Amino acid sequence: MSDVEFYQRLYGYNRQVIENFLRKLERMPLKEATRNRGIGHLSLTRTLIHVIRVHDAWLNYLAAGDVEGLRASHKSFLKLRTPSEARRYFRETWKGVDARIKKLTPKELRRSASAPWMPGRYTQADVLLQCSFEQAHHLGEVIGAMWQKDLVPPQMMWIPVVTGKRVPVA
């Protein structure tokens, strides 16, 4: 498998996992989905919105060199609170993410990247991994918070997600 194919598969997985978590939150009572649980971004929903924001910021703004657009979008991002708002934001964000991932090339993966809050320069491949690992870390917080309330988190294991084969979650 080429590097490009790897990242395309990884982002198919990332998309499906976010979709699985959105579906879970949409089925919960709003109060439970938005309650402050003392995790990094407080509620299950805000933490998932942050995960989506990471992909949006890096792939839809910074990869295009649009730091000002990223800054301008910050206020509207902060207003998002509910699972339905998260769903809308995910749909908007992932249009750009999908477009970027579909046209990946080996040259694009090696292209330089930077962010105002992170010193140094890195590659677009580093950015794709940064977003993926940050997604995994924050979803770990969500899973832990769900377990504390005896809630079963959605499927996020690689093989079932990428193959579509159902396996028990619990």
Tokens of 140: 């770990």
Give domain status of residue 22, yes or no: yes
Q: How buried is residue 37: exposed, middle or buried, by Cβ count under 10 Å (0-12/13-18/19+)?
A: buried
- CATH number of the domain that 139 lies in? 1.20.120.450
CA distance 1 to 136: 23
d(CA 130, CA 136): 10
pLDDT for residue 169 is more than 80: no
Number of domains comprising the chain: 1
Q: Is residue 84 part of a domain?
A: yes
pLDDT at 151: 92
* pTM reported for the whole predicted model: 0.94
Say what the pLDDT of residue 167 is: 77
Where in the sequence is the domain holding 35, given as residue range(s)? 3-162
Residue 18 lies in a domain: yes
How much is the pLDDT for 170? 56
Nearest-CA neighbor of 56 among 26, 80, 27, 36?
A: 80
- Cβ–Cβ under 8 Å, residues 13 and 158: yes
pLDDT at 165 over 90: no
Please say if the pLDDT value at position 19 is more than 60. Answer: yes
* pLDDT tens digit sequence for 76-131: 888 999 999 999 999 999 999 999 999 999 999 999 999 999 999 899 999 999 99
